[in-house]
Structure 1
Amino acid sequence: MKMTKKLLFIPLFFIILIAIYGVINILNSTKEVLPSSAMKIYIKASDEVSKDKLQVNWKYVAALDSVRLKKDFSKANINDARNIAQNFIAINNSHNKFKDSKYQLLSLEQVANKLSYSKKEKRQAFKFVGLLKDKYLVTVDDYKKSFIKELAPEAIKIYKDYDILPSITIGQASLESNWGRSDLSSKYNNLFGIKATKSWKGKTVKMKTSENYKNTVMATFRVYPSKKDSLDDYAEFLKNNKRYKENGVFKAVDYINQAKTIGKAGYSTKQDKAGENVYADLLIQIIQEYNLQLIDNQVQQDFFNIDSSIIN
């Protein structure tokens, strides 16, 4: 009888072990890859290092730090993240300079080598970048991903021709058109809320629009045959209105400065309750939330090898 009980206990013991193992696997699979608090640290550090230079990829910084911290992101801090991010910026001594920049961006592998990571550590870093493929500060649905991907090729071309960063172009289109869902955008292909002045020779439409904090007025807007026409005209609009040049829009080389100069130039009258212009802040926020600055990074890292699959 005692032997029978022992025999019954053995399979029961293994069943319990299997159950515990299954629960652990479920917990591990649902565990957050990178907490938003840590993500904000890597974004902030990367942007600080990128100021007046080129855009550092915050996911690369996080991946290298994940190895150092053994994925314990409770220990992540801005100083260490900034120190890692600085390694991605190097002086460009070659004659083949991207937009006359004296800087160049190093790859993830180059920085890992620079920091003396072992082969195993480099594999861990690259694997972690893969885990961050769909990591954003906010929940991003397929519609918005599609909107970004649709606009990216033309936004990249605008950057080449007009010095307007892709993140800025896509960010403004997202803000002004409510991700292409506004009537002005969906019916009339006006992605940027550009109004029609006397110099405009194309079609127009009158629609209600918000001004300042909560004011609503009727205004006349430009109508375009396609979204591409809207994008092209947006670039020409900024180029041909001297207030954007005077406020340093085309001299700004990072998205935070360019957003601020566009806001300062008066692109939008959007205000908060206190009457402060908040357009630049809204533009910076949407760029960070949807990883639009990573498009800047990819373009700047390898401008002549552009692939629409860079959107992640």
Structure 2
Amino acid sequence: MSNQKAVNYQARINENGRNDGLFIGGPWRATLNSMHAAGMAPQYDQQTVTVTQTADTKNGSWAEITMRSGQKYWIDLRALSASQTPTGQKDININQLSLTGVSATQKQWLSNLLPAAVTVARNNNLWPSVVLSQAITESAWGQSELATQANNLFGVKATSDWHGAVYNVKTREVAHQEMSVVDFTNKTIHVKKGDSYYVMAAFKKYTTQADGLNDYVDKMATNYRQALKSNSTNYRDAATHLQQAGYATDPNYASSMITRIARYVLNAFD
């Protein structure tokens, strides 16, 4: 292989009469494992995937893709829809942000997330600034236990209709009224409106962060439509809708997101 590059962006398999093979371990004939196709692309036609590497061989140009299941394959680069590949990503540059006071670890995490998050937001009627602010807020700059152990960057809980893996973790809630709750020690406590308390909660566990990002997009389109770009006038409006619709119990959730967007100029990509 030559010209092998690490990348990170969303694409869509677009066979359109093609019959591409899916290869494990490298492009076709690049390794012993990739002499024969492990699967065929037509059965995944129009599925959104994450592209993590590109490379050239004497047989053509190839892309390593990660499916929603977490399985990685190599596929002919021509099988990926041009409308979903890095078109327009030249304007996605972390240097456009104001990251004074941000640690090197945090900056590296954001730099890795940035192209995929902004591209996915733009392709799915979301405000990039809101997506980035939520990811930072919910995952503590990618360093939270939920982010590192479950690839869950958006604090998405496992509801009854979720049939995937779950990860149980201690989480903070804010009481919306006076009530009795069972806390993380399994003890019943009484809280007043506005009190913080901690519970053990089940969250969705994803194979990759890309899977988590795709599921977040589905969640926004299904449960938080007023926060979509076409239904809100700006990122402030969208953030307010998210809080009003109950995305989080923190009464300062929207204002914190708005402050963070302004501080780091996350709306540079809107």
Whole-Å separation in 1 of the counterparts to 2:102 and 2:96: 9
Find out whether 1:182 has 2:144 as its counterpart: yes
1:160 aligned residue: 122
Match of 1:206 in 2: 168
Give the alignment of 1:189-268 within 5 angstroms.
Answer: 189-212=151-174, 213-241=195-223, 244-245=224-225, 247-250=226-229, 251-268=231-248
Q: 1:26-74, CA deviations, whole angstroms, 9 ceiling, x for partnerless residues? A: xxxxxxxxxxxxxxxxxxxxxxxxxxxxxxxxxxxxxxxxxxxxxxxxx
Give, in whole Å, the separation in 2 of the partners of 1:231 and 1:248: 16
Structure 2 residue runs without a partner (length 5+): 1-94, 175-194
The answer to whether the 8 A contact 2:134-2:257 is kept is yes
The alpha carbon displacement at 1:260 in A equals 1.2
- Name the structure 2 match of 1:144: 106
Q: Aligned match of 1:284 in 232, 242, 258?
A: 258
Contact map agreement 2:97 2:264 (CA 8 A) in 1: no
In the TM superposition, what is the alpha-carbon distance from 1:254 to its structure 2 partner? 1.9
Q: Secondary structure at the match of 2:113?
A: helix
TM-score of the superposition, structure 2-length normalised? 0.54
1:169 to 108, 131, 139: 131
Counterpart AA for 1:215: Y
Q: Deviations over 1:119-156 (max 9, x none)?
A: xxxxxxxxxxxxxx688374222222222222222222
Q: 1:164 to 1:134 in 2, by over 3 A?
A: closer
More strand by share: 2
Q: 1:285 to 1:248 in 2, by over 3 A?
A: closer
CA distance in 2, matches of 1:253, 1:146: 31
* Structure-2 change in CA distance of 1:137 and 1:154 (3 Å): closer
* Aligned match of 2:34: none
Give, in whole Å, the separation in 2 of the partners of 1:137 and 1:156.
17
CA distance in 2, matches of 1:238, 1:183: 23
In structure 1, the residue matched to 2:183 is none
Q: Contact 2:169/2:202 (CA < 8 Å) preserved in 1?
A: yes
The higher relative CO (CA closer than 8 Å, separation ≥ 6) is in: 1
Whole-Å separation in 2 of the counterparts to 1:258 and 1:162: 14
TM-score (norm 1): 0.47
1:1-312 alignment runs, 5 A limit: 136=98, 138-212=100-174, 213-241=195-223, 244-245=224-225, 247-250=226-229, 251-270=231-250, 277-296=251-270
Identity %: 34
Aligned equivalent of 2:191: none
After TM superposition, give the deviation of residue 169 of structure 1 in Å: 0.8
User: Does the aligned pair in 2 maintain the 1:176–1:192 contact within 8 Å?
Assistant: yes
